[in-house]
Structure formats: C-alpha cells, structure tokens
C-alpha cells in the first residue's frame, strides 16, 4: 500500500502544533480546491490527500498512532496484540512453566529447538501478522479514505452521475437528488489496499453543498422572500415567482399584509432517495414601498388619506 507522509502533504514537520495544522490545511485546501482547478486530476488527488492528512493529524489519538506506526496506524491494536504474543513466547523460551527446558512431557522447548533470542524476534518481524502458533498470515483490512465533494445546490436538485478519481482509481458515482450538506456516503472497497490479502478499506465521501440560489433550504423545504408592491397588496392581483422548477403564477388576495406567508405544495426540494417526492416552498411577502413619487401620485395619496380619515 502506498505510504503517504501526511506531514509532507501539509508541508509541516513533526513538531507542528494543532494551530499550525489548521493554518496549513486552510491554505493548501484553498490552493488545490477542485473549483479553482477544474479538470486537473493532479490537483484533485492533492486535495484529497490534504483532507486525509488533516483528518488524521488534527485528531490527537489518530496522530499518536500515525507517528508510531506510519501507514499501518489504523492497525495499532493488532500491532500491540502481536507484541504481547511475542513477549509471551519469549517468556516460554526463557524457561516458563517452572523453568523446565523440556516441558510438555519432555518435548523440545522453544529455546532448545527452533528460535533463540534475536532469531525468534527476526522471524516474528518478518512474519508479522502471522497467527500465533498457526503459521498463517493474519489479514488486515485496508485504511479507510475520506474525501470531500463540493457541489452547488442546483446540482443536487436532480439525480446525477459523476466520475471521481480517488487514489488513482476512477469511480462512477450516482448522486441521488436531495443529498444534504455535510452528508457522508460510503463507497465500499475503494479505500486503501488490505494487508496480506485482507479486504480493502472503504471510501467515505462528505458532501459540501454551496447554496447558489436565493432560496433558503431546511431539509426538504425551501423558503424565499418576495417583494410585493403596495398596490397589488391592497387591491390583489397576480404575481410571478421563481421556483427551482421554473416560474409559477400566484394569486395575491386583496389587502395582503406585509410578512404574509403562502405555501406552494410540492415545489420544495427533492426528498433523498424517494423518487418523485418533494418538500414545499414557502413564499413570504415583503411589502415594497414606492419611491420617487410624482406630484400627482402624492396628491392622490393625500386624497386617499383624507378619505380613510373621514371614513
């Protein structure tokens, strides 16, 4: 499995502080962001490595394991277990079970026949992962990879397909409509290669959804403020409003008040993995007061004011 030096990726040394890691990550993530490097496979790979390095080094426990075990940091527990087994065997070879060298009914001890001291250690290191006493290699699962996919809100209004390049592999990915910002999906088997024939790790993709619209999204529902002129608000009338699925005509009731909200059923956002299901769109009217009135308009408004006062 290819070893990635996370410190080198973030252009740091091993004495870097948490603040150094954050600062380096922000700088490099901006530099290699896919939006700034379209169709650049090398930049995309670098961006993914930067995210992976940041995730490990920013976490104290993960960083400690990585510093100690390198590329095999995710298998730290297996290493510790194997080291304990080695110590146990060394205890046996040193005359365990009452110090007899011919234990088990006179059978030859470990020290008397097979391996002595350093020989056993070298054998153990060369066969690390071998199940104790069985002579078979233990299979270790590969490292999980993490990536971030940046999309616009309009991109996830409909189901789409994208091809991603992760660790040199092209992945044809179907992105269901309605995916949420911050949502993570798992692509099984597209992580790091397994050790000794073990299964590959998985790829976890987190979506970063940029709202490139005038709508506010809350789950499956959308919200939008719409200007309403004072004359339509008072007298009523028709008003054209934008939705993510095109324009629709609303019928405004006479004497509609500022802040009135109307619901457009089924004009919201798609429901994740529920084909044909949509949330609702809520339109809130914001009364727009006219400016730059002519003299005649002012006179008419004065007359209207007198009528209302005398009425």
Average pLDDT over residues 175-203: 89
Average pLDDT over residues 123-146: 59
HEC per residue, the chain: CCCCCHHHHCCCCCCCCHHHHHHHHHHHHHHCCCCCCCCCHHHHHHHHHHHHHHHHHCCHHHHHHHHHHHHHHHHHHHHHHHHHHHHHHHHHHCCCCCCCCCHHHHCCCCCCCCCCCHHHHHHHHHCCCECCCCCCECCECCCCEEEEEEEEHHHHCCCEEEEEEECCEEEEEEECCCCCCCCEEEECCCCCCCECCCCCCCEEEEEEEECCCCCEEECCEEEEEEEEEHHHHHHCEEEEEEECCEEEEEEECCCCCCCCEEEECCCCCECCCCCCCECCEEEEEEEECCCCCCHHHHHHHHHHHHHHHHC
What's the CA gap between 244 and 202, in Å, rounded? 34
Question: Does position 173 have pLDDT exceeding 70, yes or no?
Answer: yes
Average pLDDT over residues 103-117: 36
Question: Does position 110 have pLDDT exceeding 50, yes or no?
Answer: no
Average pLDDT over residues 159-173: 84
What's the CA gap between 271 and 284, in Å, rounded? 22
Tokens of residue 235, six digits: 């007298």
Q: From 2.60.260.20, 1.10.3720.10, 3.80.10.10, 2.60.120.10, which CATH number describes the 216-291 domain? A: 2.60.260.20
- Any idea how long the chain is? 311
Select the more confidently predicted residue: 239 or 52: 239
Select the more confidently predicted residue: 53 or 123: 53
Instruction: Give the pLDDT confidence of 288-303 residue by residue, as tens digits.
Output: 999 999 999 899 989 9
Question: Does position 91 have pLDDT exceeding 70, yes or no?
Answer: no
Question: Structure pTM?
Answer: 0.56
The dihedral built from the CA positions of residue 68, 74, 77 and 78, taken in this order, carries a sign that is negative
Whether 162 and 190 have beta carbons less than 8 Å apart is answered as: no
What's the CA gap between 18 and 37, in Å, rounded? 27
- CA distances to 38, 133, 269, 270 from 173, rounded to whole Å, are 18, 44, 21, 19
Question: Does position 133 have pLDDT exceeding 80, yes or no?
Answer: no
Question: In a 10 Å sphere around its CB, with 0-12 CB exposed, 13-18 middle and 19+ buried, how is residue 188 labelled?
Answer: exposed
CATH fold of 140-212: HSP40/DNAj peptide-binding domain (2.60.260)
Q: Edge-to-edge strand order for the sheet containing 184-187?
A: 145-152, 203-210, 184-187
All CATH 2.60.260.20 domain ranges of the chain, comma separated, are 140-212, 216-291
Question: Does position 107 have pLDDT exceeding 60, yes or no?
Answer: no
Least confident of 17-31, 75-89, 226-240: 75-89
**pLDDT for position 36:** 82
Least confident of 28-37, 210-219, 226-235, 247-256: 28-37
**pLDDT for position 259:** 95
**Which residues, in sequence order, are bridge partners of residue 185?**
205
pLDDT over 90 percentage in the chain: 42
| Mean of all residue pLDDT scores within the chain | 81
């Amino acid at each position: 499995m290819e070893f990635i030096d996370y410190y080198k990726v973030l252009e740091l040394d091993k004495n870097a502080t948490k603040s150094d890691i954050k600062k380096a990550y922000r700088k490099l993530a901006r530099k290699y962001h896919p939006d700034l490097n379209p169709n650049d496979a090398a930049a995309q790979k670098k961006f993914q490595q930067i995210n992976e390095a940041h995730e490990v080094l920013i976490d104290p426990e993960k960083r400690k394991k990585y510093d100690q075990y390198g590329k095999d940091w995710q298998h730290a527990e297996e290493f510790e277990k194997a080291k304990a087994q080695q110590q146990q065997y060394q205890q046996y070879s040193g005359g365990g079970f009452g110090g007899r060298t011919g234990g088990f009914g006179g059978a030859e001890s470990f020290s008397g026949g097979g391996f002595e001291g350093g020989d056993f250690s070298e054998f153990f290191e060369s066969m690390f992962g071998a199940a104790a006493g069985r002579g078979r290699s233990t299979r270790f699962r590969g490292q999980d990879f993490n990536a971030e996919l940046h999309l616009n809100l309009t991109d996830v209004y409909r189901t789409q397909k994208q091809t991603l390049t992760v660790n040199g592999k092209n992945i044809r990915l179907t992105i269901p409509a309605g995916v949420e910002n911050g949502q993570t999906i798992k692509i099984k088997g597209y992580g790091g290669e397994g050790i000794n024939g073990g299964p590959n790790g998985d790829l976890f993709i987190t979506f970063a959804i940029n709202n490139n619209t005038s709508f506010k999204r809350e789950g499956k529902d959308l919200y939008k403020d719409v200007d309403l002129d004072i004359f339509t608000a008072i007298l009523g009338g028709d008003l054209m409003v934008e939705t993510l699925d095109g324009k629709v005509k609303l019928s405004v009731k006479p004497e509609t008040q500022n802040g009135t909200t109307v619901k457009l059923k089924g004009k919201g956002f798609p429901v994740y993995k529920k084909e044909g299901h949509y949330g609702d769109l809520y339109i809130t009217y914001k009364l727009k007061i006219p400016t730059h009135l002519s003299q005649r308009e002012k006179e008419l408004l004065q007359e209207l004011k007198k009528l209302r006062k005398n009425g």
